[in-house]
Amino acid sequence: MGSRTTTGSTFPPTRLTVLERIRSEEPDERRRAFGPLVEGYWKPIYAYLRIRWRLPPEEARDATQSFLAAAWEKRWLERYDPGRARFRTFLRTCVDRHAMNLGQAAKRLKRGGGAAIVGLDFETAEGEIRERPIQDPVDQDELFRREWIRDLFSRSLEEVRLEHVTTGQAGRFALFERYDLGPEEGLSYADLAAELGITVSQVTGRLAAVRRAFRARALDNLREACGTHDEYRVEAREIFGIEVA
């Protein structure tokens, strides 16, 4: 699964959402819309099945694949009604229903089909789950939301990292990683400036630039994962405290 190359954080409010495109009668358009949804949700679905449903890795992998295949073939996602719930809540309830049905009829488990599923790296996903203590919050919607945001941020961060590496600005990203992702106790801008031989203002500026890039990328990815533009606005407000157009 390669990273996308979308840039910038602004877009016309009238642009069709992914869900509007997935309802298209044009098979190619529908297939193109399905890809970002798979990309944005397969890992939270896998983590959710592992943690909430306590499926072993192999079963969680098969269940994720079969869910996505069925969602494509049976056009489940097109039934989403924005007036009733957020898209991710709708998706999570679909996953619950699917997992329940699988439990009752394991034979129906199947993979692939004609779905636009790209190579999903389940081994990495499993490794990521094992890296952190598995906590199962009481609220299943909160669990799915937490995994979804984790994946959204991880993908966005990786895209920003690649962007900085390929443009010869790996040092700038490393500064951000050190200060914002692994804050050392008592580390100040002045400490960093002295260590790197730059001014405090330059530290501020470099951190701000990477933060800005991350925010733009995360908003792009968030927009792709929301059912409607209104939902995108609400999610942006709740996750970042940002008002978007």
Partner 1 sequence: MTALSDASVRRLAEVANLPDLSETRYTLLEEIGRGGMAAVYRARDETLGREVAIKVSSAPGEREDLDARMRTEAAVLAALEHPGIVPVHDAGILPDGRAFYVMKRVRGTLLREVARGAAGLDERLRILERVCETMAFAHARGIVHRDLKPENVMVGGFGEVLVIDWGVARVPGAVDEPGAVLGTPGYMAPEQAAGRSGDATERADVYALGAILSTLVTATEPPADPGVARAALLAERELPRRLRAIGAKALAADPIDRYADAGEMAADLARFRAGNPVAAHPESWLERTGRSVWAYRAAVGLVLAYLVMRIVVAWVTG
Residue 139 in contact with partner 1, rule: CB under 8 A = no
Among candidate residues 186, 125, 122, 168, the one with its CA nearest the CA of residue 150: 125
Distance CA 60, CA 40 (A): 17
Burial 203-219 (b: 16+ CB within 10 A, else e): beebbebbeebbbbbbb
| Cα Dmax for the chain | 64
Sign of CA dihedral 163, 165, 167, 173: positive
Q: Would you count residue 103 as binding partner 1 (CB under 8 A)?
A: no
**Cα angle value 168/172/173 (rounded, 5°):** 95
Binding partner 1 (rule: CB under 8 A), the pick from 29, 96, 128, 141 is 128
Binding positions for partner 1, 193-222, rule CB under 8 A: 200-201, 204-205, 207-209, 211-212, 214-215, 218
**Cβ closer to partner 1: 72 or 232?**
232
Site string for partner 1, 7-36 (x = CB under 8 A): --xx--------------------------
Angle of CA points 11, 180, 176, to nearest 5°: 75
234 binds partner 1 (CB under 8 A): no
Whichever of 7 and 204 has its CB closer to partner 1, that residue is 204
Among 4, 23, 30, 146, binds partner 1 (CB under 8 A): 146
| CB neighbours of residue 114 within 10 Å | 10
Q: Which of 88, 92, 155, 223 binds partner 1 (CB under 8 A)?
A: 155
Give the interface with partner 1 as residue ranges (CB under 8 A).
9-10, 124, 127-129, 131-132, 146, 149-150, 153-155, 157-158, 180-181, 183, 189, 200-201, 204-205, 207-209, 211-212, 214-215, 218, 239-245
